[in-house]
Structure 1
Amino acid sequence: MKPVIRAVLVIAATLLTLAGLIAPSAAAPAGPKAVARTENGLVRGTSEAGVAVYQGIPYAAPPVGERRWRTPEPAADWAGLRDASRPGAACAQAGDFIGDPPSDAEDCLYLNVTTPRHASARRPVPVMVWLHGGGFQWGSGSIYGAEKLARRGDVMVVTLNYRLNVSGFLAHPALAGSGQDAGNLGVEDQQAALRWVRRNAAAFGGDPGNVTIFGESAGAQVSCTHLTAPGSRGLFERVIMQSGPCTLNWPYGDTWRAKPRAEAEEIALAVAEKAGCADPATAGTCLRSKSVAELLAADAGEHGHGPSFGGNPVIPEDPARLLAAGRAADVPVLHGTTRDEHVTFQVGMELMTGGPVPPQAYGPVLGQFLGLDAGQTDRVLREYPLSDYDGSTGAALSTVLTDWAWACPAAQTNDLLARRGPTYAFEFADRTAPWLGGTEAPDFPTGAFHAGELQYLFSGAYAGQPLTAQQRRLSDRMIDYWTAFARTGDPSRPGLPAWSRLRPGDTRVQALAPGAGGIRPVDLHREHRCGFWNSL
């Protein structure tokens, strides 16, 4: 991989993580205590403003010692009342330049529950299980404050940690013995958490028979896996996927969507060599002897760890191919992207390389990222001339890569999903969304950037400017749509603008923007010039 591409991959994957936008909360919510009985024992959380919050509940045994690189095992029982007022440690990860702190914790398989105080086994509410983003390298569940989502939507929300990077996706052949598969442990962790939800949701007033998984970025990408993975069948009733099309075009080298096992093994072998464990005869023992810090240093953020398919029982086949073949779970799906996805990654590239791409390099950079020949690159330059963007290469590249990498693959994914079962498609389109807290905005409009919609659903995921009155109204409507979908499989409800089910061949999606007429159908295919891209 070329050094510039490798650097851009690191910065881009880092920007996929929302956990890096603020530091995890160290303080528990104020208020009276709340108690629930899980299968392993009693937990005591906190209660405030109509919701109860339980944090740091173990859903599996700590994957340490002999359990490192092993399928998650059941959590142990405890005696007495377990304090659930603080989150568990984030899974092992390197720090990033945005502010996501490093963690060397392997004991990290914890989840958090936010639930309406009135919910009970007799009056259960729908359950929504959040799979955080982070390019499978960074992130944690605890920074996504779900109080408003649970309170306004009358749902139980579960956020969770899962093993990341070298801890969760190191597909080294020497670690595959005894029926174990170290290459997809992060996916197995999520499956273990979903099984925990089935067994324990009722203790918190949740309906174990009405579970929606929802995720953003890598969390949406892995949802494609859950739609097709054998071990995920029967663990959920609905899926919401935000900014992670199953057919995503990733321009920065190692892909963070599911990759062939051979690619994942090549990455693992490179990490092992850098860790001093190149000898196949001793690689397994050698890797197990390394500390978390040594393993993260050997990886050095150079690789796109993530799920891999083929040659393993967790993900036997390519999820995108299974979806195209109609072999995905026939459950309702809500799927969408943001209007200006790639702005976030373009900003990251400029931070890494020290500034905007020079105008004279616009064409060569496009050709390199898109893998086009000279003739094809000329066609793209004619379709997206730099003059249309006031000479801003950042704005031009953001537009081109939004259309090619995100929006047109999203239109393709929409169609595949619609041919499989009930599908509702959207585009978050608030082009005035507050920019990332702690990161300087670029000299071009940031628009409805990647991850820009999360501050409308959760608190704490951003430390930027507060939402305006109109944006708060949009936030309310998005929560109403999301939770209506979780309740019935249809986002429509009285008092909201109509949202039609997507039919095969239809390219219209529901635009979500503030103000009068901000929520309306738009033609995603036309808006992002997918006819042009299909012609290439």
Structure 2
Amino acid sequence: MMRIRHFLAGLTAILVAACSGDEPVFVPVMAEDLARTIAQGELVGFETETGAAAWMAVPYAAPPEGELRWRAPRPPLAFAARYEALAAGPACPQVTNTLSAGDEYDTGILIGAEDCLTLDIYAPRNAAPGDDLPVMMWIHGGANTWGSSSAYDGSNLANERGVIIVSVQYRLGPLGFLAHPALRAEAGIADDAAANFALLDLVAALQWISGNIDAFGGDAGRVTVFGESAGAYNIAGLMAMPQARGLFHGAIMQSGGTASVPLDVAENGGGLDAVAGLAAGEVIAGPDATGTAMRAASLAEVYAPYRDEDGELTSMPRMIEDGVTLREGGILAAAEDPDGFAPVPLISGTNRDEMKLYTVFDPRLTRRLGPLIWLRDRDTYEAAVEYPSRIWRYNAVDGLLDRLAAHGRDDLWSYRFDWDEGGSVLITDTGELLGAAHAMEIPFVFNHFELFGSFDRVLFTDGNADGRAAIADAMGAYWSAFAETGQPGDGAGVGPGWPRWNDAGAALRFDSPDDGGTAVFDRLESPELIAEALASDPRIDDTLRCGIAGGITRRQPVLDPAFDSALDC
């Protein structure tokens, strides 16, 4: 993942000679008819380039800095004057990587500001207070270590589907997830003793929506949370935490997860990849670190335990079973409890080729010449991607939905995103290399094909425009129908009825019309089925077969028995 941006930039450079002229820069202009009064005071928005209404960087909590660092969010401050919500706010503190760096920053640069708990609102241009439109709160991905709300433009989804889109920022990395006894010792309120401060941020955003969204035409009684990757993972956390109950009424998890770390491991070590909280505190504020000293440390000192000699992030805290936001056993334990998981309708799905984003540079599978890259052998490449992608689906979909269904829940749906028609440059075929990779569905959901920077010109072409439009129409229709009614149905007539989750693994597949379009299919996943399929796959030899199995079980040792019984490695 850390090298993918170099690849994308190299491919895009090939196109420079064929592309001329700079696109005009859109400058937001305050629109007086988009003035709104909320609890904090008056704010005013603007009309977006695509004709929606928008209000950017609206604070939903007090700045979590100084004495409020590593505490539960506090209520937002009143506006000192009319708030002009015209521009994106600063991202939460993060270290740039090869996906997030750009012309302005190199990789390994600490950017952002702690005063970052803001949200962006998009509405149909004519939406007015009291319209009671469905609300969809987007939670961005980025491994819970990077990203920002402004990277996602909700204009088209809001305008075309008659919904209010709220894109929210939350604390990232060690500011969002950290367990240390000194922080608990100085708790001012009960939630200050948590370790998952990012989850509490998202609760605060939902509380803000509950109290203020009517001013923008939204219905606080119909709030759907949706998000991708870490955003979907955080939705699973919201579903499992008591503080979020009653604040949202539906959830859509796109390529999420369910893992969590016991509190003792988070503090003392023993996990696979995270710096222990106690060790981090010692680096931040010395061997006898107090909460006061840790809160007084600079951002550079806060991030120091997690950076290598090149300044790149090495390992970061993960979602923690802190006993305040998440119970012992975490998300899955909550899902196994009839009263432990939010009783709201849930859609969970994945992309067919999730792992292609992480496999494209494996020298055993691809060849590379400068910015160009191509497959050594298609069958081998597809096999190497298929099994960890299926495990991802088991974790995010089958394993979770089966637990919920076991308690009689029938308000569950699943999907798979299969689009693999990305464009080509010379011998580099992004349809083969990336296919339906991780994050590829996001532009389709938003019907806004500007997400990957200049690489969008390579991936999204005139040749695949019609197929993309058909998928975007379908996904937008099903997502908004779910937000409006609590069930996706047939997407208000755009496609087949979406079957509820059952013991056959019923799901909806999203693809272009040339590849079968939107269609119902059944596909169950389990570690045993995946291991058995890997063991008998004729496309690969035993060396690669065992390498794939080892990669899976290193990340999830709990799967060892299933793969050990199926393979002789």
**TM over 0.5, yes or no?**
yes
Check the 8 A contact 2:240/2:335 in 1, yes or no: yes
Report the alpha carbon displacement of residue 83 of structure 1 after superposing the two structures with TM: 0.9
**CA distance 1:272–1:408, change in 2 (3 Å):** closer
299-308 vs 511-520, which moves further: 299-308
Tell me the amino acid that sits aligned with residue 221 of structure 2: G
Amino acid at match of 1:54: W
User: Which residue in the other structure is 1:57 paired with?
Assistant: 58
1:532 Cα shift?
Answer: 2.5
- In 2, the alpha carbon distance for the partners of 1:304 and 1:11 equals 19
Q: How does 1:232-311 map to 2 (within 5 A)?
A: 232-246=244-258, 257-265=259-267, 266=269, 267-275=276-284, 277-279=285-287, 281-300=288-307, 301-310=313-322
Q: AA paired with 1:521?
A: V
Task: Supply the AA of the counterpart residue of 2:474.
Answer: R
What SS is found at the alignment partner of 1:111? Answer: strand
Alignment of 1:27-66 (within 5 A): 28-29=27-28, 32-33=31-32, 34-48=34-48, 49-66=50-67
For residue 497 of structure 1, give the secondary structure of its aligned residue in structure 2: coil
**Judging changes above 3 Å, is the alpha-carbon distance between structure 1 residues 224 and 80 closer, same or farther for their aligned structure 2 residues?**
same
Is residue 418 of structure 2 the alignment partner of residue 429 of structure 1?
yes
Task: Give the CA deviation at 1:338.
Answer: 0.3
- Secondary structure of 1:190 counterpart: helix
Contact 1:133/1:217, CA 8 A, preserved across alignment: yes
Residues 364-513 of structure 1 aligned to structure 2 (within 5 Å): 390=377, 394-407=381-394, 410-419=397-406, 420-433=409-422, 445-458=433-446, 459=448, 460-463=450-453, 464-465=456-457, 466=460, 468-492=465-489, 493-513=491-511
Q: What does residue 381 of structure 1 align with?
A: none
Tell me the percent identity. 31
| Residue 43 of structure 1: how far off its partner (Å) | 0.8
Aligned-pair CA distance for 1:297: 2.7
Q: CA deviation at 1:206?
A: 0.4
SS at match of 1:123: coil
Structure 1 counterpart of 2:204, one-letter code = A
Shift of 1:111: 0.5
Q: CA deviation at 1:307?
A: 2.0
TM-score (norm 1): 0.80
Q: Say which is worse superposed, 419-428 or 200-209, in terms of deviation.
A: 419-428
Confirm whether residue 110 of structure 1 aligns to residue 118 of structure 2.
yes
**2:225 paired with 1:213:** yes
CA RMSD of aligned residues (A): 3.0
What amino acid maps onto 1:337 in structure 2?
T
Tell me the number of residue pairs that the alignment of Structure 1 and Structure 2 aligns: 469
Shift of 1:235: 0.3
Deviation of 1:31 after TM superposition, in Å, equals 7.2
Residues 494 and 286 from structure 1, CA distance in 2 versus in 1: closer, same or farther, beyond 3 angstroms?
A: closer
Contact kept? 1:339, 1:448, Cα under 8 Å: yes
Instruction: Confirm or deny: 8 A CA contact 2:349 2:393 kept in the other structure.
Output: no
Counterpart amino acid of 1:397? A
2:521 corresponds to which residue? Answer: 522
Question: Separation in 2 of the partners of 1:392 and 1:274?
Answer: 47
**Deviation of 1:524 (Å):** 2.4
Aligned pair partner of 2:158 in 143, 150, 154: 150
State the alpha-carbon separation in 2 of the partners of residues 309 and 331 from structure 1.
22
Question: Quick one: distance in 2 between partners of 1:531 and 1:486?
Answer: 37
Distance 1:504 1:515, change over 3 A: closer
Can you give the 5+ residue segments of structure 1 that lack an aligned partner in the other structure?
1-7, 16-20, 247-256, 360-387
Q: Is the 8 A contact 1:187 1:307 kept in 2?
A: no
Query: 1:363 is matched with which residue?
Result: none
CA distance in 2, matches of 1:282, 1:297: 15
Q: Among residues 211, 214, 217, which one is paired with 1:199 in the alignment?
A: 211
CA gap 1:345/1:61 in 2 versus in 1, 3 angstroms: same
Kindly indicate whether the alpha-carbon contact (under 8 Å) linking 2:348 and 2:396 is maintained by their aligned counterparts in 1: no
CA distance in 2 between partners of 1:427 and 1:150 (Å): 23
Alignment correspondent of 2:237: 225
Q: C-alpha distance in 2, partners of 1:56/1:434?
A: 34
Instruction: Give the deviation of 1:142 after TM superposition.
Output: 1.0
Worse overlay, 281-290 or 326-335:
281-290
Q: Distance in 2 between matches of 1:220 and 1:206?
A: 22
Q: Report Cα offsets for 1:376-423 as digits up to 9, x if no partner.
A: xxxxxxxxxxxx982776544322211223346522223234443401
Q: Kindly state the Cα deviation for residue 504 of structure 1 after the two structures are TM-superposed.
A: 3.3
Tell me, yes or no, if the aligned pair for 2:418 and 2:511 is still in contact at 8 Å: yes
Amino acid at match of 2:62: A
1:373 maps to which residue? none
Greater relative contact order, per chain length (Cα 8 Å cut-off, separation 6+): 1
What whole-Å deviation, never above 9, does each CA across 1:102-131 have from its counterpart, x for those lacking one? Answer: 424111011110011222333220000011
Task: Encode CA deviations 1:283-311: one digit per residue, 9 max, x unaligned.
Answer: 4344223211222232112223232114x
Given the superposition, is the C-alpha separation of residues 227 and 129 from structure 1 closer, same or farther in structure 2, using an over 3 Å criterion?
same
Deviations 1:199-255 (A, max 9, x none): 001010000111000011111111111112100100001000000143xxxxxxxxx
- For residues 52 and 426 of structure 1, do their structure 2 counterparts lie closer, same or farther at Cα, with a shift above 3 Å needed? same
CA, structure 1 residues 498+70, in 2 after alignment: closer, same or farther (shift >3 Å)?
same
Deviations 1:84-107 (A, max 9, x none): 001111000001012345424111
Distance 1:242 1:526, change over 3 A: closer
- TM norm structure 2: 0.76
Return closer, same or farther for 1:174/1:11 CA change in 2, 3 Å cut-off.
Answer: farther
The residue that corresponds to 1:333 in the other structure is 346
Decide whether aligned partners of structure 1 residues 290 and 11 sit closer, same or farther in structure 2, where only a CA change above 3 A counts: farther
CA contact 1:511–1:522 (8 Å) conserved in 2: yes
SS in 2 for 1:142: helix
Question: For 1:527 and 1:118, how far apart are their aligned partners in 2?
Answer: 47
Residues 185 and 61 from structure 1, CA distance in 2 versus in 1: closer, same or farther, beyond 3 angstroms? same
Partner of residue 548, structure 2: none
The one-character-per-residue Cα deviations of 1:309-353 (angstroms, maximum 9, x if unpaired) are: 14x312123111221333312211111000101111223xx3xxx
Q: Which amino acid aligns with 2:242?
A: P
**Residue 230 to residue 453, structure 1, CA distance change in 2 (3 Å):** same
Contact 2:410 2:500 in 1 (8 A): no
C-alpha displacement of 1:358:
7.6
Rounded Cα–Cα distance in structure 2 between residues aligned with 1:394 and 1:122:
53
Structure 1 residue 313 and structure 2 residue 324: aligned? yes
